[in-house]
Amino acid sequence: MVDVAIVGMGYVGVTTAATLAHIGHRVYGLDIDVGRIELLSRGKAPFYEPHLDELLARNLERMHFTTDYGEAIPRADVVFIAVGTPSLPDGRPDLRYVEEAAREIGRHLNAERFTLVINKSTVPIGSGNWVEAHIRRSFSETHGEANGRFAVASNPEFLREGSAVSDSLYPDRIVVGADDPRAREILRKLYAPLVAQDFSPPESVPRPEHVQTVPYVETDTATAELVKYAANAFLALKISFINEIAALAEKVGADIRDVARGIGLDRRIGTSFLQAGVGWGGSCFPKDTAAILATGEEYGLKMPIVAAAREVNFAQRKKVVEKLLGELKIIKGKTIGLLGLSFKPNTDDLRDAPAYDIARELLEKGAFVRAYDPVAIPRAQREWNLDIEYRKSVLDVARGADALVLVTEWKEFTELDWTEVARVMRTPVLIDGRNALPGKVVQEAGLRYIGFGVPAHF
């Protein structure tokens, strides 16, 4: 068993905490937000994430949540930094929270023992050294010694919101970057139960059959930091690529869903992340693609492929409005209903959600915008300053509407009876912004179905 402290109780921090406790370690969760700590102490995640409450509740005896660095850091063998790194206006990540965490860690580091500090926040390449310098400085300010006994390693996170628990317990790989042999040894010990899958899976998140052991990739710090950016940039450009091909499919009358399957079955390409539609949002792809470009620029390096992936992506949101214009001719005064607000299903996260840009543009064009989302409405009411009328159900949104736009492919929408929806609309037009619906069924239910790169007639 390893004693672990985790600074930052966001998505990554809380999921990592619950996972490490589940595989047998003792975990201290740290955050400056008292409300968060209180919720977590009762086994409740401070955000919506399927199965996370269950994992927390099950492992609460090995977890302790606190706002006090002094309580957690001196007891820990391993300290994770899992604070946010939001984008600055120029695309570079704002490292102020990482710096603050590093300073607090340095101040409270146990001078008597070796501590490994692991960066899980997505930070620019080379930040390992920078974090180390901050810890060293605040350690010597407090202890009056030049050197604390610690090392800094990088351990990027690949979990997805909405499937964070499964991604953490059964990852495709674990990547650790450490230059210090002591750090490598502790990391191996920390992750041994995950690598060997030596723990009992929670009932609601069973182990997928193909997962027996987890590949463990050991690198130097800078390499691990670059793996994270390269992985997200690659996934982002895979989606932008299919969206570009979807535009061509529309012109030539081909069906992008079959194109995606046709290319994806080539194992070198792979079928996932080839779903065309309104494109990617969230807290990761927009931020990380901007950050990798900013890093390139610092070295005078142009990265045209990543830049194009961004350009294609943000243009997808405008296509919704173009498609509506094509159908309705005039948008001003029309009522448009949005189905789904979060950037993807199974989360209430609204960061860089396509729904925001779509709603804003429709409002600018004089439309009335209504919306329904199974979980994200309270958050949208708090965080978005847009004149959207939030409704309680799909039918409530559809009643008297001139068009619906499916923005997030929640299960509730993909399993809907569309006949009733068609009946209550003023003009039954449906833009499927995720190509998630059975077009033929929707069309037979009486709606005009418009996808992204799918033929208009069935």
Cβ nearer to ligand UGA, comparing 191 with 343: 343
Phi, then psi, of 224 in degrees rounded to 5: -60, -40
Binding flag, residue 431, ligand UGA (CB under 6 A): no
Near ligand UGA by CB under 6 A: residue from 343, 368, 410, 449 = 343
List 79, 274, 291, 388, residue binding ligand UGA (CB under 6 A): 274
Two tokens, residue 147: 């050197």
User: Is 284 a residue of the active site?
Assistant: yes
Q: Give the Cα separation of 19 and 7 in Å (integer).
A: 15
Our CB check for ligand UGA shows the closer of 138 and 313 to be 313
CB of 274 to ligand UGA, least distance (A): 6
The CA-based angle 430-435-436, given to 5 degrees, is 90
With binding defined as CB under 6 A, does residue 277 bind ligand UGA?
Answer: yes
- DSSP secondary structure letters along 369-424: EEEE-TTTHHHHHHH--S-EEE-SSHHHHHTT-SEEEE-S--HHHHT--HHHHHHH
Size of residue set near ligand UGA by CB under 6 A? 20
Tell me how many degrees the CA angle 241-244-249 measures, rounded to the nearest 5. Answer: 120
Residue of 15, 121, 155, 232 interacting with ligand UGA (CB under 6 A): 232
Buried residues in 270-297 as b, exposed as e (16+ CB within 10 A): eeebbbbbbbbbbbbbbbbbbbbbbbee
CB of 395 to ligand UGA, least distance (A): 24
Binding status of residue 124 toward ligand UGA by CB under 6 A: no
160 annotated as belonging to a binding site for a ligand: yes
- Distance (Å, rounded) from C-alpha 270 to C-alpha 304? 23
The residues that bridge with 117 in the sheet, in sequence order, are 79, 152
Q: Is 132 in the site for ligand UGA (CB under 6 A)?
A: no
Smallest Cα–Cα separation from 448: which of 353, 348, 327?
A: 327
DSSP letter, residue 50: T
Question: Both tokens of residue 324?
Answer: 């509506």
* Cβ at position 361, least distance to ligand UGA in Å: 18
Q: Which of 190, 239, 242, 284 is catalytic?
A: 284
C-alpha span between 377 and 350 (Å, rounded): 10
Out of 273, 363, 396, 427, point to the residue binding ligand UGA (CB under 6 A): 273
Residue 351 assigned ligand-binding role: yes
Residues between 234 and 253 with contacts to ligand UGA, criterion CB under 6 A: 235, 239
Closer Cβ to ligand UGA, 63 or 246, answer by number:
246
**CB atoms < 10 A from the CB of 203, how many?**
9
User: Could you say whether residue 104 binds ligand UGA (CB under 6 A)?
Assistant: no
Which residue's CB is nearer to ligand UGA, number 402 or number 432? Answer: 432
Q: CB neighbours (10 Å) of residue 231?
A: 17
Do 234 and 227 form a contact (C-beta atoms < 8 A)?
no
Instruction: Tell whether 159 is in a known binding site.
Output: yes
3-state SS class at 335: strand
Task: List the alpha helices (DSSP H) in 32-180.
Answer: 34-41, 52-58, 69-72, 96-108, 127-143, 164-169
Residue 276 marked ligand-binding? yes
Residue 343 CB, nearest approach to ligand UGA (Å): 4
**Among 29-37, 274-282, 361-369, 396-404, the segment contacting ligand UGA (CB under 6 A):** 274-282
Residue 220 among known ligand-binding residues:
no
Q: Return d(Cα 185, Cα 349) in angstroms, integer.
A: 36
277 is in an annotated binding site: yes
Range in contact with ligand UGA (rule: CB under 6 A) among 24-32, 153-161, 246-254, 423-431: 153-161
The distance of closest approach from Cβ of residue 265 to ligand UGA in the complex, given in angstroms and rounded to an integer, is 15
Instruction: For residue 161, state whether it binds ligand UGA (rule: CB under 6 A).
Output: yes
Q: Which is nearer to ligand UGA, 36 or 317 (CB)?
A: 317
Find the radius of gyration of the CA atoms of the chain: 24
Q: Please tell me the chain's helix, strand, coil percentages from 3-state DSSP, rounded to the nearest 5.
A: 45, 15, 40
- Smaller CB distance to ligand UGA: residue 19 or 138? 19
Residues of the binding site for NAD(+): 31, 36, 85, 122, 161, 287, 351
Annotated binding site: 31, 36, 85, 122, 158-161, 228, 273-277, 281, 287, 344, 351
Residues in contact with ligand UGA by the rule CB under 6 A: 157-161, 232, 235, 239, 273-275, 277, 279-282, 284-285, 343-344
Residues with catalytic roles: 284
